[in-house]
Amino acid sequence: MKDPSRLYRWMLLWTSLVALGFLLAAAVRENLLAEWQQRQRAYRKLLAEKATDARGRELLRNFRIELRQVSVPALGAVDRCVSCHVGIDDPRMTDVPQPYRLHPVEILEHHPVDRYGCTICHQGQGAATNFHDAKAEDAYWDYPLLPRELTQATCMTCHDVSRLPPQDVTLVLEGMRLYEQKSCGSCHKLQGRGGALGPALDNEGLKTKHQLILTNLKPPYTTWRWHQAHFRDPAGIVPGSQMKNPTVTEREALALTAYMLSLRQRDVPESYLAPDKIAQKFRALSPQPQPAEQLYRMYCFACHGDGTYGRWEKTFQRFIPAIRGTLAATATREYLETQIAQGRPGTQMPPWHSQAGGLLPKEITALADYLRASPAARSARDLAARSRPVARGDAARGQMLFLRNCAGCHGVAGVGGVAPELANPVFLRAADDSFLATTIRNGRAATAMPAFQRPDGAGLSDAEIADIIAFLRSLESPSQQTAQAQDKSRAGGSQ
Ligand code: HEC
Ligand code: HEC
Ligand code: HEC
Ligand code: HEC
Ligand code: HEC
Ligand code: HEC
């Protein structure tokens, strides 16, 4: 029988040789074949081609193949991008391929490389030594390299973009305009102002892909591809989304994406903030009231349209009343102020007072007047002036009348349906009897709400209308009592 130790010695020799081979290969790969080294060798050839004068020859002589990096502790950056992008500050490098080309010059003039690095503007993984890792699109890296046209999204970190040369930030500015035009503020807050149906967007640009629902997106997964797809078809990306399809073109989706990515509250040292940004921060401390027409466009339009027609909204499964139609004629300024300030709890109509939607009291008054000043409201106002005082009615009789005449549209017990909810406490508290009576008598022109009393007195009598109003009033109190009872039992249970 053979000596087994001989076999073991052979095995040991071979495995050692294999391990050594791997080590050698790794060393060669790291020191001679690394992507950045190949790039620098290719760049040295370019330098040689361009070494036509004394200065050029000197640059060639002094060129070393070495790992280059810019370290900017104040911005938390160690950027090795210059290991490949070696020609970014050489004005001769205009007709060469990437990564050797001269950088857009004015940018680096205002933001010197050794003070800013690269990733503060471009994102990407600064420490990477190959382009795949530097791009970091499929690696576990929060902020991958932005596509070239979206790089402008990062200027907002340190600038008030509306003060930058417009050609530097065309997409962001366009997205900013679209945000107002498409009334995105109806459902989203920025700096504390806006609706409540969707999330606040102040820091949207710093969200990572892991915070978004990716199931319905095709790879590669990046936040900018997500946003573009989501703007084109919100419910296709987030099933059941109540974000009404904003109907945007591909170009508009890209501009809105650039604007979303620019919303970033990244802390950079004060010394890195441009003077325009500091002025902007200062202005934000004392907001000025905006004109009502602009407020309406920004915060109401997405849901109410121009307000002259009421309509059933499929996305919300709810009726949206015409707030600049006959309603605005019948309603007092105080009624409208309350509706706007308090909203309608349990519906999509959000509260707009300063602690909720962030509107100043002055602005809410201006909005109420704006609704009342609509053409439809003015022509209908004289009808309201002829309203008669309402007698005390009988709620039980009113309930019968309501079921027969109103429940088909307003729902049994006024819970809403194809017509607005009437049992809503905010509505009932703000609507006085003559408002209700006028609405029932005259209906609402250009909406489905019929007039229940004709000028000759046919239809419901004044007494019947009083009964219905008594019934509507009775809807307010029982639900409040139940709520209080529930509060009590909850308090009791916790003892
Ligand atoms: C102050 C912001 C800022 C800094 C800092 C910055 N860049 Fe840029 N960079 C830009 C902008 C803006 C563009 C142009 C995008 C465009 O074409 O719209 C750009 C373009 C580029 C391009 C593409 C040029 C082309 O013509 O295709 C490369 C490559 C690039 N930068 C690399 C770098 C590297 C490497 C660094 C770090 C040494 C760096 N940048 C630092 C803002 C910056
Ligand atoms: C290992 C080499 C390497 C490193 C490191 C590297 N790049 Fe590049 N970069 C390239 C190459 C190669 C291209 C051209 C790729 C192409 O055209 O497909 C390029 C292209 C670019 C472009 C232009 C993309 C476009 O859409 O036109 C930008 C911007 C850029 N790099 C920025 C950076 C930044 C910022 C870093 C640092 C985080 C970086 N690069 C690190 C090799 C590198
Ligand atoms: C990390 C912060 C930072 C980022 C990011 C940044 N800048 Fe600047 N930028 C500054 C500061 C600070 C100055 C003022 C420099 C000075 O005047 O000393 C400045 C100056 C400028 C100027 C000169 C005019 C002026 O306002 O003084 C331009 C133009 C400019 N930046 C464009 C851009 C663009 C375009 C981007 C986005 C691609 C950008 N900056 C991104 C900090 C930044
Ligand atoms: C009718 C209300 C409504 C309007 C108008 C609206 N949104 Fe939304 N938005 C939502 C809701 C609800 C969500 C959450 C569900 C979803 O992601 O689709 C949302 C989600 C978003 C998100 C994703 C936020 C995140 O981090 O998950 C962004 C970004 C966004 N909206 C931007 C916009 C922009 C820009 C506009 C204007 C073009 C707009 N929205 C108009 C209701 C609205
Ligand atoms: C997210 C959608 C949404 C936004 C944004 C919105 N509303 Fe509404 N609003 C509604 C809905 C839905 C109702 C009906 C609620 C109900 O069924 O009781 C309503 C009801 C109202 C009413 C009560 C109408 C009545 O019949 O008594 C007023 C007034 C009103 N909204 C004003 C505004 C104003 C002004 C703004 C902008 C500052 C605004 N709304 C923004 C959805 C919205
Ligand atoms: C054919 C459907 C229909 C019937 C029947 C109907 N309504 Fe209406 N009603 C509406 C619609 C639609 C509106 C919203 C009009 C608007 O957009 O301003 C409305 C609005 C109202 C309002 C104002 C609500 C608000 O938020 O400002 C009151 C009050 C009202 N109806 C009471 C009644 C009463 C009481 C009856 C029965 C006597 C009745 N309605 C029958 C469709 C109907």
Residue 232, number of CB atoms within 10 A of its CB: 17
pLDDT (0 to 100) of residue 138: 80
Distances (CA, A) of 335 to 330, 332, 338, 379, 432: 10, 5, 5, 19, 9
Residue found under tokens 């361009």: 50
pLDDT in tens, 76-105: 999 999 999 999 999 999 999 999 999 999
Hey, which of 242, 297, 304 would you mutate to test ligand 5's pocket, going by the most ligand atoms within 8 Å of its Cβ? 304
Mean pLDDT of 299-315: 88
Residue found under tokens 């004060």: 270
Q: Is the dihedral of CA 255, 260, 261, 264 positive or negative?
A: positive
- Ligand closest to 161 (CA) is 3
Nearest atom, ligand 3, residue 165 CA: 29
Q: Output the six-digit token pair for 235.
A: 């419910």
pLDDT (0 to 100) of residue 489: 40
Nearest atom, ligand 5, residue 196 CA: 1
How far away, in angstroms, is 227 Cα from ligand 4 center? 10
pLDDT in tens, 105-138: 999 999 999 999 999 999 999 999 999 999 998 8
The residues, ordered by sequence, that sit 6+ positions from 10 with a Cβ below 8 Å of its Cβ are none
The identity of residue 223, as a single letter, is T
pLDDT (0 to 100) of residue 111: 97
How far away, in angstroms, is 94 Cα from ligand 1 center? 14
Q: What's the mean pLDDT when you consider all of the chain? A: 89
Hey, which of 176, 187, 225, 230 would you mutate to test ligand 4's pocket, going by the most ligand atoms within 8 Å of its Cβ? 187
pLDDT (0 to 100) of residue 174: 98
How far away, in angstroms, is 103 Cα from ligand 1 center? 6
pLDDT in tens, 405-456: 999 999 999 988 889 889 988 888 878 888 899 889 888 877 889 999 887 7
Contact 237, 226 (CB under 8 A): yes
How far away, in angstroms, is 104 Cα from ligand 1 center? 7
Mean pLDDT of 169-178: 97
Nearest atom, ligand 4, residue 316 CA: 1
How far away, in angstroms, is 122 Cα from ligand 1 center? 7
Residue 480 pLDDT more than 50? no
Distances (CA, A) of 7 to 1, 2, 3, 12, 14: 12, 9, 8, 9, 11
Residue 485 pLDDT more than 50? no
Closest CA to 214 of 199, 229, 232, 198: 229
How far away, in angstroms, is 361 Cα from ligand 1 center? 45
Question: Percent of the chain scored above 90 by pLDDT?
Answer: 71
Distance CA 402, CA 398 (A): 6
Residue nearest to atom 15 of ligand 4 (CA): 241
The alpha carbon of 384 is separated from its chain's Cα centroid by a whole number of angstroms, namely 41
Residue 17 pLDDT more than 90? yes
pLDDT (0 to 100) of residue 148: 95
- Ligand closest to 380 (CA) is 6
Tell me which of 377 and 384 has the higher pLDDT: 377
The alpha carbon of 218 is separated from its chain's Cα centroid by a whole number of angstroms, namely 22
Mean pLDDT of 198-223: 94
Distance CA 117, CA 353 (A): 44
How far away, in angstroms, is 241 Cα from ligand 4 center? 8
pLDDT (0 to 100) of residue 318: 87
Q: Ligand 3: does its nearest atom lie under 6 Å from the Cβ of 148?
A: no
Residue nearest to atom 34 of ligand 3 (CA): 155
Q: Ligand 5: does its nearest atom lie under 6 Å from the Cβ of 352?
A: yes
- Ligand closest to 162 (CA) is 3
Distance CA 354, CA 368 (A): 15
pLDDT in tens, 378-408: 655 655 555 667 788 999 999 999 999 999 9
Residue 1 pLDDT more than 60? no
Distance CA 427, CA 403 (A): 20
pLDDT (0 to 100) of residue 348: 94
Nearest atom, ligand 1, residue 99 CA: 29
Closest CA to 78 of 35, 112, 128: 128
Mean pLDDT of 149-158: 96
Residue 484 pLDDT more than 80? no
Q: Residue 381 burial (CB < 10 Å; 0-12/13-18/19+)?
A: middle
Q: Ligand 4: does its nearest atom lie under 6 Å from the Cβ of 234?
A: yes
pLDDT in tens, 26-41: 888 777 778 999 999 9
pLDDT (0 to 100) of residue 456: 78
